[in-house]
């Protein structure tokens, strides 16, 4: 049950926040390392063209579903296609922070709703 997690200001909460911030700061390694080692695209960030080059074909399921989702910020890059590495790195970190905030917000809402719905009848109110 999610209700056992405490959303107070305890040291465990701060450890989690610091851990998530470190992960957000490290997130651009996926574009920095391939750039440093001249390895091409970040692992797993391939488009249909790259898949074609790597495998010699594009699986039918990928072709069919490739246009199903269009990212709000393509390639996590706020600067556009040919932007400098610094802009790409900052865009990756910002994307990570936005993602952490959205997921954290959803978890917070789910926990609050769970607390509300599972509370004894006389205590059914948000604190």
Encode the chain (127 residues) as per-residue pLDDT tens digits: 444 455 555 678 889 999 999 999 999 998 888 888 888 777 777 889 999 999 999 999 999 998 888 878 777 888 887 889 899 899 999 999 999 999 999 999 999 999 888 877 765 565 5
Q: pTM of the predicted model, to two decimals?
A: 0.71
HSE value, Cβ hemisphere, 13 Å, CA-based, for 106:
5
Would you say residue 55 lies in a domain? no
Asked if the structure places residue 59 within a domain, the reply is no
Containing H/E element for 44?
none
**Cα(100)–Cα(41) distance, rounded to whole angstroms?**
24
∠ CA 8-9-11, rounded to 5°: 115
Residues 6 or more apart from 124 whose CB is under 8 A from it? 116
Please check whether residue 106 lies inside any domain of the structure: yes
**Closest by CA position to 77, among listed 95, 103, 101, 96:** 95
Is there a contact between 104 and 5 (Cβ–Cβ < 8 Å)? no
Classify residue 108: in a domain, yes or no.
Answer: yes
Parent domain of 19 = 2-44+77-123
In the chain, the number of structural domains is 1
Q: What local confidence, expressed as pLDDT, does residue 107 receive?
A: 95
Determine, yes or no, domain membership for 65.
Answer: no
Q: Is residue 14 a part of any domain in this protein? A: yes
Q: Residue 93's pLDDT is what?
A: 94
Q: Report if residue 50 sits inside a domain.
A: no
* Domain annotation covers residue 57: no
pLDDT, position 22: 96
Question: Closest Cα partner for 3 from 105, 108, 120, 126?
Answer: 108
d(CA 96, CA 76): 9
Count of alpha carbons within 13 Å of 48, Cβ hemisphere only? Answer: 10
Residue reference for tokens 């910002």: 94
């Amino acid at each position: 049950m999610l209700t056992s997690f405490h959303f107070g200001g305890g040291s465990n909460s701060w450890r989690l926040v610091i851990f998530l911030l470190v992960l957000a700061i490290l997130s651009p390694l996926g574009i920095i390392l391939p750039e440093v080692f001249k390895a091409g695209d970040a692992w797993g960030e391939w488009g249909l063209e790259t898949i074609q080059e790597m495998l010699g074909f594009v699986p039918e399921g990928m072709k069919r579903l490739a246009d199903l989702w269009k990212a709000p910020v393509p390639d996590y890059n706020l600067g556009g296609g040919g932007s400098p590495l610094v802009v790409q790195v900052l865009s990756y970190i910002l994307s990570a922070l936005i993602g952490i905030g959205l997921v954290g917000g959803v978890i917070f809402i789910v926990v609050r709703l769970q607390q509300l719905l599972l509370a004894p009848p006389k205590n059914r109110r948000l604190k």
